[in-house]
Structure 1
Amino acid sequence: MGGGWVLPASDIEAYVNLGIAFALLVVKIFALVSALLYSAESYDAADKLNKVTWCALLGIGVLLQVLPIPIGIVNLVLTVAAFVYLVDVRPALAGLRRRR
């Protein structure tokens, strides 16, 4: 037969899952660090949830992404929260900084 190097399907699936988990961890860490950099007053001025709430949501999201606890739906909700922060809240906060 062949002399090629082929991974079994289960190994490929494991590597894809690992890659996705790592990418989501990077997104969540980036969102958390970004949230920490803005002042609490910026969140109020942008008419968004307060800084403590966003940092708590994003911090718990990072924690659940790192821990091997199978809490799928909660992790999914916190992943969506990270994307909402990056797509909606972060641009609003950055817009306030540019206007000054």
Structure 2
Amino acid sequence: MARKIDDIQRDIERTRRQLASTLDELADRSRPENVVNDAKQTATAKLRDPQIQKILLGVGAVIVGGIVISVLRSRKRSNDIKELQKLLAGRV
């Protein structure tokens, strides 16, 4: 049995409303401020994870350790250069 024209028109209208709703939702999701807010929420949620906090703490410790070693080496070289300059100045 064939469908009635009224049924087909109702289906078409329902499909149009659903499509319009979907397009509105996609437009809302793609707005830059919404994308930024979603990214912030995701990052905040990940930073609250204890496992991620441990990893970041470890990475931070390695970075700080590298900076400390670099400063200490720089000071040692500076002191070595000053000592060489004194020795060379004494030879003249």
Asked whether the two chains share a fold, i.e. TM above 0.5, the reply is: no
TM (norm. structure 1) is 0.34
Which fold has the larger relative contact order, with Cα–Cα distance below 8 Å and residues 6 or more apart in sequence? 1
Which one has a larger percent helix, Structure 1 or Structure 2? 2
TM (norm. structure 2) is 0.37
Which one has the largest radius of gyration?
Answer: 2
